[in-house]
Structure 1
Amino acid sequence: MGIKFRLIVMNFLQFAVWGSYLVCIGNFLGRVGLGDYISWFYIAQGVVSIFMPAIIGAIADKLVEPQRLLGISHLAAAAFMLLAAYFGYQATMLTAAGTATSIGPIFTAYCLSVAFYMPTIALSNTVAFSILKSKGYDPVKDFPPIRVFGTVGFIAAMWFVNFIHFGAMKIAAQFTYMQLVICGTLGLILGTYAFTLPHCPLDRTVSQQKKTLSQRLGFDAFILFKQKKMALFFIFSMLLGVSLQITNGYATPYINSFAAASDNWFAKNPTLLVSVSQVSEALCILLIPFFLKRFGIKKVMLMAMTAWVLRFGFFGIGTTENTIGIALLFLSCIVYGVAFDFFNVSGALFVEQEATKPMQASAQGLFMLMTNGIGASVGTWIAGKIVNHFCSWQNDYLLARPGVEGGWPVTWLIFAGYALCVAIVFALVFKYKHNPEAIGEIGH
């Protein structure tokens, strides 16, 4: 079995673990009386993303070989996710019996699981780079075709939980605790598989040993805030990062809400519909080098911000009740590729270009801290408040709250309005002179 194929399997499973629950856990939580806490499950993911990758990365550099640590982390994450699934089963039984469910047990187990899983995203890259280099391959050239199978794995897991049914009622896994069982099972498989990967030696160079936890978190890169251009970029990255997890948490409950009034196929298969977003993401990443070289970072970021406006706006006016409404939902999923990739990937390339060589790793850490850490966590918390104000869980569906005007359309349009405001202010205050040659080298 070739080493590239083995790394493809690793990447496929790495993101299949995530895809099995990330966009549909809200459907399950709502059905066991925990719908008001959906945002907290995504906030937890953002919070652990602030510090856990740095801690695990430090261990991988100095104490435990990366491929072994990858296996240990996945086994630990899988064990806690299966524990969360057990508490999810108990919650299901209590709900069926008309008894209220406590968030404590399942949320605690879930938090511990994602605390071990989130660092593996970067750690799996470290393992792949190390193995490719040891086998004489060029990671810059050979890793991207391997990494794309991670997105394939994410999509495949979404389709699996959408279609696989369990129990006498034949309820799809996307609506039950079985999505957590699938996640945990895949994690056990990957955790075991990681121990069979080739040896990745520890890097005990002086530079590695001198790298502090503060540097890994990107805190030393705060010096970049002395530059007005970089300060504005990081601030707007945080403001746009507010949008990152909103549709992950609430897109499938929204689409499924139409099933309360009609027997529509799309409404009953929300995870499958939302998977179009990941397909778009995989395709749009190929467009980034061209767009960065042709238009520059400011215009590309504005394209991302505009795409977020359309992402939310199309959800606000979309529906599964007619052809035009379904088309709008599909358009929302299609523009997600631009919204996500043009922001995250282009932003990372911009930071790589603007930060000095010794500061690049820390600057990337700061970019992740501002977007996926602070921005996404705060944004998801606010989004949860807004959704819970306009909507409530009623007979397994998240519907417009009785007595409150607006419902889902107003909810999505509020998010769209926020993204539009950020885009307008960014266009007015962020100044940057585009250098096609510099961007071209990065894109190439």
Structure 2
Amino acid sequence: MNIKLRLTVMSFMQFFVWGAWLITIANYWFGTKQWDGTQFGAIFATMGFASLFMPTLTGIIADKWINAERLYALMHILYAGVLFYIPQVETPNAFFWTMLLAMCFYMPTISLSNSISYTTLKSTNLDVIKDFPPIRVWGTVGFIAAMWVTNLTGSKASAYQFYIAGTGALALGLYAFTLPACKPTKLISEKASIVDTLGLSAFKLFATYKMALFFIFSMFLGGALQLTNAYGDVFLDEFKHFPKYADSFVVKYSTIIMSISQVSETLFILAIPFFLKRFGIKKVMIIAMLAWVFRFGLFAYGDPAGNLWMIVLSCVVYGMAFDFFNISGSLFVETSTTPKTRSSAQGLFMMMTNGFGAVFGSLISGWMIDKYFTSSFNNISAVASHVDSTADNGHLLSFVKSQGINILSDGSFDKVLFMKDWQHIWLSFTIYALIITVLFAVMFKHKHTRAEEEAIKKISH
């Protein structure tokens, strides 16, 4: 098989086994298991916790002792085993530790897959800059395909989403053993300090005001990155509680609607060279932050009927919000550091956004939603006035019963029903993103440099 095609298959499956559950796990948590929001925030934080140390540790192992493709294969097989076990978990606390274990196996495979692709392309005399992007874009296609499979098989609120992901991960793990050997390079010096080995020397960059400010804002923006991944699909799915939206396309195919975000991501990558050349790195970062404001604000006022365009547009601007900051931020790091600290600085950028930022955003949002934006209901009349006072009573009765609640003869419930105020949840995220944008625009002083112009030229070509 052609080597680029083999790497494309790896890239496709790498993100398929993540996309099968990442966007829909909230439906399983809130709908099937009916656990609370604070603990759900901790579930999404597991990705951040794992990102803080596992990619570095596996990178050291692959550099010194084990072929990268074999380590990659082993990690995916272990990841598959945990995914198959997840449906057996019956408590939120046990679910957290199980998911943390799964993320410890999965998160480092993202960087390992890049490393395998780079090494293999170089060893076959192919151009990494030219040949890798078309391979990597199939990872996003794999993520989209997984979302569609999960939705169309009716698995978005069931344990089958983990079985889909687990089956894919097991197949990928076995397939990885057939990839070309990526032997350890042993580039890490035996005399290197533990600080240098773990890439912690990049933290010295915090001594520079501009770099410190950039990394701090990266963390705060990283707090927003996973919010719509965590809550977007369950937000659309919960329109089923409202009789006038219950049978809408958005409710039935919420995951497919959310996949517009990933489609947008692949398209906006193509627009980055134009924006960088025209506006420069700082303005492109600000554009990305403003896109997050629109991403959340449009969700706040969108609905499956008259304001469906807002939901669709929110998904479209996601590509700009996600791509523009990640790539412009990476270019800023590339052109603002020395060759000696460049690799560890890029690792620090990822750690601040996907590690500390993801943990911060997931934990705070889970606590905030549970404490301030979740209402409790004890009887059917209270639900009717909240959802739609003119709604068909049969629909409301069946909705309440679907939540595992019995309705007593006087209309009261045998246990409390919880419902979220999604409009104010999204508005609070909108205000957060707007504050970050304004503060960054005012505080981050930066002029376009010659090094940036050269980097942008390379991207443009």
Letter in 1 for 2:208: Q
Relative distance call for 1:336 and 1:10 in structure 2 (3 A) is same
Alignment of 1:227-306 (within 5 A): 227-261=208-242, 262-306=246-290
- Counterpart of 2:386? none
Could you tell me which residue of structure 1 aligns to residue 62 of structure 2?
A: 60
Paired position in structure 2 for 1:391: 374
**Corresponding position of 2:409:** none
Is the Cα–Cα contact under 8 Å of residues 265 and 320 in structure 2 kept in the other structure?
yes
List aligned pairs for 1:107-186, cutoff 5 A: 107-164=96-153, 172-186=154-168
Aligned partner letter, 2:43: F
What is the TM-score when the length of structure 1 is the normalising length?
0.90
> 1:174 is paired with a residue of what secondary structure?
coil
Q: Which residue of 2 aligns with 1:97?
A: none
Q: 1:25 to 1:406 in 2, by over 3 A?
A: closer
Evaluate the alpha carbon distance shift between residue 186 and residue 212 of structure 1 in structure 2; reply closer, same or farther with a 3 A threshold.
farther
Deviation at 1:408, TM superposition (A): 1.1
User: SS of the counterpart of 2:111?
Assistant: helix
Q: Report if the CA contact (8 A) 2:47-2:358 is conserved.
A: no
Identity of aligned residues (%): 46
Kept after mapping to 1: 8 A contact 2:66/2:183? no
Please give the per-residue CA displacement for 1:156-193, whole angstroms capped at 9, x wherever unaligned: 000000001xxxxxxx1111011011111110000000
Q: Distance in 2 between matches of 1:8 and 1:211?
A: 35
Shift of 1:218: 4.0
- Specify the alignment match of 1:443 in structure 2: 459
Question: How much has 1:263 moved relative to structure 2?
Answer: 1.4
**1:32 matched to 2:23:** no
Secondary structure of 1:243's match? helix
**Structure 1 unaligned blocks of 5 or more:** 92-101, 165-171
**Aligned pair 1:200/2:182, yes or no?**
yes
Query: C-alpha displacement at 1:348, in angstroms?
Result: 1.0
2:287 and 2:136 map into 1 onto residues whose CA distance is 25
Q: Name the SS of the counterpart of 1:199 in structure 2.
A: coil
Single out whichever of 330-339 and 371-380 deviates more from structure 2.
Answer: 371-380
Please report the TM-score for the alignment, with normalisation by the length of structure 2.
0.86
Letter in 2 for 1:367: F
Per-residue CA deviation, residues 251-310 of structure 1 (Å, 9 max, x unaligned), is 111111111222112112211111000001111112222212221111011101100000
Say which of 49, 57, 61 aligns to 2:51. 49
Structure 2 residue 38 is the aligned partner of structure 1 residue 11: no
* Regions of 4+ moved over 4 Å: 207-213, 392-397, 402-406
Pair 1:359 & 2:341 matched: yes
Query: What SS does the aligned partner of 2:34 have?
Result: coil
How many residues of Structure 1 are paired with residues of Structure 2 in the alignment?
417
**Structure 2 unaligned residues grouped into runs of 5+:** 377-398, 404-415
Contact 1:217–1:369 (Cα < 8 Å) also in 2: no
Contact 1:216 1:361 in 2 (8 A): no
Query: Is the Cα contact below 8 Å between 2:375 and 2:420 reproduced in 1?
Result: no
> 1:82 and 1:406, CA in 2 relative to 1: closer, same or farther beyond 3 A?
closer
- Is 1:309–1:419's contact at 8 Å kept on the other side of the alignment? yes
Contact 1:42 1:249 in 2 (8 A): yes
What amino acid is the match of 1:220? S
Aligned to 1:313: 297
- Counterpart AA for 2:35: L
Q: Distance in 2 between matches of 1:403 and 1:439?
A: 55
Distance in 2, Cα, partners of 1:414 & 1:403: 23
Show the counterpart of 2:382: none
CA change 1:208–1:421 in 2 (3 A) is same
Q: What is the distance in 2 between the residues matched to 1:272 and 1:142?
A: 29
> Does residue 1:378 correspond to 2:360, yes or no?
yes
- 2:411 is aligned to none
Aligned partner of 1:345 in structure 2 is 327
CA contact (8 A) 2:120 2:182 kept: yes
In 1, Cα distance between the equivalents of 2:16 and 2:162? 12
Q: Secondary structure at the match of 2:355?
A: helix
Secondary structure of the 1:173 match is: coil
Q: In structure 2, what is the equivalent of residue 98 of structure 1?
A: none
Letter in 2 for 1:440: I
CA distance in 1, matches of 2:308, 2:199: 42
Secondary structure, aligned partner of 1:203? coil
Decide whether the 8 Å contact of 1:78 with 1:183 is kept in 2: yes
Q: In 2, Cα distance between the equivalents of 1:403 and 1:151?
A: 37
| Structure 1: distance between partners of 2:184 and 2:375 | 51
C-alpha spacing 1:158/1:405, structure 2 compared with 1 (3 Å): closer
Contact 1:158 1:272 in 2 (8 A): yes
Task: Supply the AA of the counterpart residue of 1:418.
Answer: Y
